[in-house]
Amino acid sequence: MAPMLEMQLTYRQFKRLQLFVTAALMLLASSVIALETDREQPIRIQADAAMVDENQGASVYRGNVIITQGTLEVTADEVEIYTTDSSVIQIIARVDKNSDKLAHYRQQVNVEKDMVYADARKITYLVQEERLHLSGDARLQQVEDVFTGELLYYDLARGIVNLSSSGGSDRVNMTITPKKSQKPKQPQNQ
Nearest CA to 154 out of 178, 138, 133 is that of 133
pLDDT beyond 90 at 70: no
Spell out the long-range contacts of 19-26 with Cβ–Cβ below 8 A and sequence spacing 24 or more. 20/52, 20/54, 20/59, 20/81, 20/83, 21/45, 21/59, 21/81, 23/83, 23/86, 23/87, 23/88, 24/81, 24/83, 24/88, 24/91, 25/67, 25/69, 25/72
Return the pLDDT at 106: 86
Return the pLDDT at 187: 57
Give the three-state DSSP class for 128: coil
pLDDT beyond 80 at 65: yes
Does this model's pTM top 0.85? My answer is no
Categorize the per-residue pLDDT at 29 as very low, low, confident or very high, splitting at 50, 70 and 90.
Answer: very low
Give the three-state DSSP class for 109: coil
Distance between CA atoms of 111 and 105, rounded to whole angstroms?
Answer: 18
Return the pLDDT at 97: 93
Q: Which CATH class is domain 11-175?
A: mainly beta
Return the pLDDT at 39: 57
Tens-place pLDDT, residues 102-122:
999 887 766 776 788 999 999
| Residue type for position 1 | M
Categorize the per-residue pLDDT at 189 as very low, low, confident or very high, splitting at 50, 70 and 90.
Answer: low
